[in-house]
């Protein structure tokens, strides 16, 4: 996979420098295409719908959000992005309900059972944490939530809260990129720095909390359990 990615990047680099592609595909033209797309009546529906196949194929969601911000502006772009993300989350949840447990274990890996116990016992706050901290791909988290019958309300609200910081960050970056191309003097560097710092701190705190919950949820051996009983009696 790494070799394939390297070859694709090398091919794109060669096309960019050896052909007129660099003169045709410019940032200005990309913004013009996005703005023209945003004027179509069906454009919001297309952007919202794009998140569902993107999450199943693991296509980067922030790229769709950046495009939405450029096409519709920061406010509408953010609204369409969150709507699409929540619909994609619902689709993965429904898929997880019908997904066999063995298939889910193969998709999620060896830590699936302990992670599922954390989500089941901690509910909403765990759903928020696993969305902010990338412990598993977006679709896999939805599969797991549906498969272990997490309350749909907790899952959807946790998804919204957990992905809100990242989506806001992407929205602000997209808006500032567009501003930089139009007038670099208008870039709000303090806003960018503040958003990044806030997001990083929140992710670190929730990662620490999730790791503690993850460790506490691991089943103990019978030897450890017996030793704990002896200690309590003493």
**Angle CA 115–117–145, to nearest 5:** 70
More confident residue, 172 or 192: 172
Q: Judge residue 120's burial from the number of C-beta atoms within 10 Å of its C-beta, 0-12 exposed, 13-18 middle, 19 or more buried.
A: middle
**pLDDT (tens digit per residue) in 43-102:** 999 999 999 999 888 888 888 998 899 899 889 999 999 999 999 999 999 998 888 877
Contact 81/65 with Cβ under 8 angstroms? yes
* pLDDT score recorded for residue 59: 84
Cα 112 from Cα 100, distance rounded (Å) = 14
Average pLDDT in the 178-185 region? 62
Q: Are 115 and 150 in contact (CB under 8 A)?
A: no
Predicted TM-score of the model (pTM) = 0.72
Residue 169 has pLDDT above 90, yes or no: no
Around Cβ 203, how many Cβ atoms within 10 Å? Answer: 16
């Amino acid at each position: 996979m790494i070799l394939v990615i390297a070859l694709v990047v090398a091919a794109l680099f060669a096309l960019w420098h050896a052909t007129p592609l660099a003169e045709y595909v410019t940032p200005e033209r990309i913004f013009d295409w996005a703005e023209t797309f945003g004027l179509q009546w069906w454009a919001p529906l297309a952007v919202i719908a794009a998140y569902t196949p993107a999450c199943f194929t693991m296509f980067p969601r922030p790229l769709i959000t950046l495009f939405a911000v450029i096409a519709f502006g920061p406010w509408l772009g953010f609204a369409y992005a969150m709507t699409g993300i929540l619909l994609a989350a619902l689709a993965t949840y429904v898929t997880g309900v019908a997904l066999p447990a063995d298939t889910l274990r193969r998709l999620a890996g060896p830590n699936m059972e302990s992670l599922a116990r954390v989500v089941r016992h901690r509910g909403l706050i765990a759903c928020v944490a696993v969305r902010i901290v990338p412990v598993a791909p977006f679709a896999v988290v939805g599969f797991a939530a549906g498969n272990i019958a997490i309350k749909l309300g907790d899952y959807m609200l946790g998804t919204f809260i957990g992905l809100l910081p990242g989506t806001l960050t992407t929205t602000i970056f997209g808006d500032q990129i567009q501003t930089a191309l139009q007038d670099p003097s208008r870039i709000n560097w303090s806003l960018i720095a503040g958003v990044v710092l806030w997001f990083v701190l929140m992710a670190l705190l929730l990662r620490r909390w999730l790791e503690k919950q993850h460790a506490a949820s691991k089943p103990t051996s019978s030897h450890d359990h017996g030793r704990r009983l002896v200690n309590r009696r003493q």
